[in-house]
Amino acid sequence: MKKQNEITVESLDQEGRGVARQNGKVIFIEGALTGETVTYQTFKRKQSYEMAQVEQIKCESPMRVKPKCRHYGVCGGCSMQHVDAMTQVAIKQRILEDTLAHIGKVRPDEILPPVYGSSWGYRQRARISVRYVRRKNRTLIGFHEKHSSFVADMQHCEVLTPKIASLLPELASVIDQLSIRDRLPQVEVASGDHIDVLVLRIMQPLTDTDKQLLRDFADEHRIQFWLQPKGPDSIYPFHPLNAAQLSYSLPEFNVVMPFAPTEFTQVNGTINRVMVGRAVRLLDPQPGEHIGDFFCGLGNFSLPIARSGATVTGIEGSDALVKRAQQNAAINGLSASTRFLAMNLFKMTPEAYASLENFDKLLIDPPRDGAVALVKSLTGIHAPRRIVYVSCKPSTLARDAQILVHAQGYQLKAAGVMNMFPHTSHIESIAVFERL
C-alpha cells in the first residue's frame, strides 16, 4: 500500500511541474517528471489543489539528468535543469500545441521545427538581487531563492554569460566594501556583442572612495558601470565614460542595433538572430509591400524586414523606444523605408487601426499580455493577408489565435517553439496566420 505522500506523476504543467491527482485533488510537484513515482512535501494547500516539492524519487524518468548548477534547487533562476535539454524543447512544444487546442480551439496546419541553441551561458540580460546580511557580515548576490524573498548566495551561474558568471564573487566582494552596501539592492546585467554593462541601483550617493573602488573594478574586468539613483529612466554611465555603446548585430540582414542598458532586448542573442531570420522568411516581405511591425521595440524585426525592400511602419507604446528605433534606422541607412509611431496598442480599436495606412502583412511581437485589442481590430478590407505572431506566453497567443481564426477569418498555417530560455518554463513561440 502506498504511503500518503507517495504518488505517480501523470504530466507536466506550463511551469514544468509534475501534475498528479490524489483523492480528487491536483498535486503540482516541483522537480517531478512525467511517469515518476515520488514522495513529496506540500508547501501550499488549497481546497482543490496542493503545491509541493519532490522529496524522494522512487522510480526515475529517463528524461531526468543531473543538474549542472551547484545552486539548483535553492536558486529560483532555473526550474528545469533536472530535465534533458532536448526533452525540455519537446515539452515546450507539447505545451504550445495543447494550449492552442484547449484555449484557442485551433490546431496549426504545420508544426515548425523547434529553434534551440546552447543551453548554458546564454543569458545576456538579468536583474540580480543584492543584500548585505549583517549576521553573516557579508554581501550576497544572486537571484531570489525559490518561494522566498531571500537572495541566493550565488558563487557562479551556469546560464549567465561566462564572463559575468565568473565575476559574481568578486562583484559581491567589491559591493561589500562600499559605504552604501546596504543601500544597493540590485544589479542589472546587459551584455552586447562587444561590451558588458552592470547597472547599480543606488539608494544614496557614492562616496569618493566608493567611486574609486568601482572604477578600479571596471578597469580590471573590462566592464562598464552605470548608476541608477531612481527609476529606470534615471540611469547614466559612470565608468568608463568613453566606452563603446552597447549593441548587438543581426548579420543575416547586415543590421547593427545599439541599445541602452535598461531598454528591452532579448535575453538570448543567439536565439534572437535565428528567430528574426525565421520570422522574416515566414513573413516573406516583398519590394513594394507595406508591412506593419506592432510592438516593434527598438526595431528588432522592423529593420531586417526593411532590408527586403518593403516599407515598414513600426508601432510601439514607448516614446523612448520609438526614438531608439528611429536612431537605429538612421544608423543602418534605413530611414527612407521605415517610420515609427508611438501608440497605446492595448487600447487599439478598429477605427484607430483603419486610420493607419493599409498593411499587406503584419509582424506582431507583444509582451506577455498578448495583443487582444489589436487582433480584434483586424476586420474587413483593412485586414492584412498574412500575420506572423511572435509570442512569449502560449495562453495569450492561444486566446488571440481563437479570435483570429474563429472571428476574423484567418487560418493558423504554422506554429512552433523557440527555446529562448533553456532550463526555465518560459516558452517563446511563433505562429503564422493567413487570411482565408
Query: From the annotation, which residues make up the binding site for [4Fe-4S] cluster?
Result: 69, 75, 78, 157
Q: Which of 148, 139, 13, 164 is nearest to 77 (CA)?
A: 148
What's the rounded Cα separation, in Å, for the pair 389 and 294? 10
Binding-site positions for S-adenosyl-L-methionine read: 266, 295, 300, 316, 344, 365
Assess contact for 156 and 70: CB atoms under 8 A: yes
| Residue type (1 letter), 423 | H
Checking 165-170 for CB contacts under 8 A at 24+ apart, the result is 165/121, 167/221, 167/223, 168/141, 168/142, 170/217, 170/221
Q: Angle at which helices 162-176 and 208-221 pack, to 10 degrees?
A: 160
Assess contact for 424 and 69: CB atoms under 8 A: no
Per the residue annotation, which of 392, 397, 417, 427 is the catalytic one? 392
Which residues are registered as beta bridge partners of 115? 418
Assess contact for 168 and 157: CB atoms under 8 A: yes
Residue 296 is a catalytic residue: no
Q: Which of 197, 334, 188, 214 is nearest to 259 (CA)?
A: 197
Binding-site positions read: 69, 75, 78, 157, 266, 295, 300, 316, 344, 365
Cβ count near 197 (within 10 Å): 22
Assess contact for 56 and 377: CB atoms under 8 A: no
What's the rounded Cα separation, in Å, for the pair 5 and 27? 10
Cα angle vertex 113, ends 372, 368, to 5°?
25
What are 67's three cell numbers?
A: 543538474
Annotated catalytic sites, by residue?
392
